[in-house]
Chains A and B, each alone.
Chain A
Amino acid sequence: AQKITQTQPGMFVQEKEAVTLDCTYDTSDPSYGLFWYKQPSSGEMIFLIYQGSYDQQNATEGRYSLNFQKARKSANLVISASQLGDSAMYFCAMREVNYGGSQGNLIFGKGTKLSVKP
């Protein structure tokens, strides 16, 4: 069964507007971590933001925030005030702590390609 689902293969957003990239996950591990990565056209993988399953507050990093809804098993990435440089692939990933240990590998979704229009 797919553990990380990103249902939006591609999205467009107008520059300076906010955009939400969807991510749902499936796990029976009570302890897990959720990550978002950005991959620009140059190809490198850039870590953006992390949310732990026991964190009480939604994570924020600058213009990035993670809308964590534990009961719905969703971890959507919100980018505020989009910039042209935000155009990239975005990957949601999960680490199951108990099944993989604190150093367990990441399970990735298939990604969402975001295009920011001027």
Chain B
Amino acid sequence: DAGITQSPRHKVTETGTPVTLRCHQTENHRYMYWYRQDPGHGLRLIHYSYGVKDTDKGEVSDGYSVSRSKTEDFLLTLESATSSQTSVYFCAINQLAGSGEQYFGPGTRLTVT
């Protein structure tokens, strides 16, 4: 158990509204990631963070912003949600030891109507 939680777990929102998803980890991992999962696409990286206030874009970052003011929290914000952002969002951390595998949170299912 990598101690990763995501909130909310499910959300339905309307087009044009702002949405913030939270990822919380309890094990002081430096690297954190946000992915989205869509049918036929696997998981695609949105943004990642390599430390407090240090973030960078991933493959599908348009329409998303992130913030990391504390080691344990990584926030993903949709400034103005669109139907194309309906997806399942996963947060992940990097395991420093061993192979450096990533461990994932339980996911957030977001529906934009």
Contact = CB atoms under 8 A, between A and B. Distances in A.
Contacts of B35: 108
A103 B94 contact: yes
A105 interface: yes
B50 A103 contact: yes
B44 A108 contact: yes
A17 to B, nearest CB: 26
B104 A44 contact: yes
Interface string A92-118: 010100000011011111110000000
A50 B104 contact: no
Contact of A43 (B42, B92, B106): B106
Contact of B99 (A43, A45, A50, A91): A50
B99 A33 contact: yes
A91 B42 contact: yes
A25 interface: no
B43 A108 contact: yes
A40 interface: no
12 contacts: A35-B102, A45-B43, A50-B101, A91-B42, A105-B58, A106-B45, A106-B102, A108-B42, A108-B43, A110-B40, A110-B42, A111-B42
Given A50-B101, A103-B94, A103-B100, 5 more contacts: A35-B101, A44-B107, A47-B103, A103-B31, A108-B35
